[in-house]
Amino acid sequence: MILGAVSTIASVGFAQQVRELKKEVREKKAAEIKQLVNSKDFVFKAQFALPMGGSSFQLTSEYDVKVVKDTLICFLPYFGRAYSAPMNPSEGGIKFTSKDFEYIAKNRKRGGWDIVVKPRDVQNIQQLTFYISESGYGSVQVTDNNRQPISFNGYYEKNKEKSKKEG
């Protein structure tokens, strides 16, 4: 009987330690993501495309959006209805680099961030809206003048190219 009680106390103690460790890991990740948002230095890695009015599907190639202080580099596919076709067929997808854009970040009430980026030097792209959770997962919605909006689900991480140059 005493052995069972000791075992139960040990299990409860271990479970408490696991909960505290998980909380510590979540808080560390949230602080890391907050730092990326505030520094305007992150990469969104797209894993799923969600075209408007269509079904979502997993992306098998690497697509991303990089935000690096004064530069926005977008390399995403496009699926959906276009209201006008590009003159050059190789210009399909959502591919651009912007050096002049507005960056507005807002904290969400229940944690995470909403970021609106409005490129001023890119024709047709109205804005990109980033939804970022404290765990680093989220989505990007692209609003274009000549196409239906499209969203992508994925995750956010530190810009590794900058890290390599610094290191």
Q: Among positive and negative, which fits the CA dihedral 146, 149, 150, 155? A: positive
Contact (CB, 8 A) for 152 and 63: yes
Q: pTM, whole model, 2 decimals? A: 0.81
Q: Give me the mean pLDDT over the 82-90 stretch.
A: 70
Write out pLDDT tens, residues 120-162.
Answer: 999 889 999 999 998 899 999 999 988 899 999 999 998 886 4
The reply to whether CATH 3.40.605.10 applies to domain 2-166 is no
Q: Where are the beta strands (DSSP E) in 85-146?
A: 94-98, 101-107, 113-119, 125-132, 137-144
Pairwise CA distance, residues 151 & 12, whole Å: 43
Domain spans of the chain, in order of start:
2-166
